[in-house]
């Protein structure tokens, strides 16, 4: 299984707010920056959040990130059907000397 733990799936209605959690330990999330990626069906991952809470240019402010201790959270407000995708968290693991990802969360917008 993945080093970082995410809920496998979530669902919410259009217009609502959803949060996706990502849990790790002191070797990864606890001492390194977290990034988030969105993967629409059949496409490559897309850069969504970096350094825990920063948005790359072009990413709407409906997407936000936060980190506390050994956990991180991705928030999405004003859900749209186009937000239906798999979302992954990632960070460096200092003990493994490797990049680690969460198992991914499939978001369904009902």
Partner 1 sequence: QVQLVESGGGVVQPGRSLRLSCAASGFTFSTYGMHWVRQAPGKGLEWVAVMSYGGSHTYYADSVMGRFTISRDNSKNTLFLQMNSLRAEDTAVYYCAKAFYPYHGGGPFDVWGRGTMVTVSS
- CA distances in angstroms from 45 to 14, 15, 36, 86, 94, listed in the order given: 22, 24, 10, 9, 24
- Whichever of 41 and 82 has its CB closer to partner 1, that residue is 41
- 21 Cβ neighbours under 8 A, 6+ residues apart: 5, 6, 7, 71, 72, 73
- 81 Cβ neighbours under 8 A, 6+ residues apart: 14, 109
Residue 14 C-beta: closest distance to partner 1, Å: 26
β-pair type (98-101, 85-93): antiparallel
Residue 81 C-beta: closest distance to partner 1, Å: 22
Residue 100 C-beta: closest distance to partner 1, Å: 7
What does the DSSP 8-state code read for residue 30? G
Residues in the site for partner 1, rule: CB under 8 A?
2, 32-33, 35, 37, 39, 43-47, 50-51, 56, 86, 88, 90-92, 96-104
- Whichever of 3 and 76 has its CB closer to partner 1, that residue is 3
Residue 19 C-beta: closest distance to partner 1, Å: 19
- Whichever of 16 and 108 has its CB closer to partner 1, that residue is 108
């Amino acid at each position: 299984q993945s080093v970082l733990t995410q809920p496998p799936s979530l669902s919410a209605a259009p217009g609502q707010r959803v949060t996706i959690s990502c849990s790790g330990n002191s070797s990864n999330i606890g001492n390194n920056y977290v990034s988030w990626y969105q993967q629409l069906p059949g496409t490559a991952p897309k850069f969504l959040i970096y350094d825990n809470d920063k948005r790359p240019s072009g990413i709407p402010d409906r997407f936000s990130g936060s980190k506390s201790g050994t956990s991180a959270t991705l928030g999405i407000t004003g859900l749209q059907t186009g937000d239906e995708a798999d979302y992954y968290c990632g960070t460096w693991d200092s003990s493994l000397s490797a990049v680690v990802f969460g198992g991914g969360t499939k978001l369904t917008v009902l």
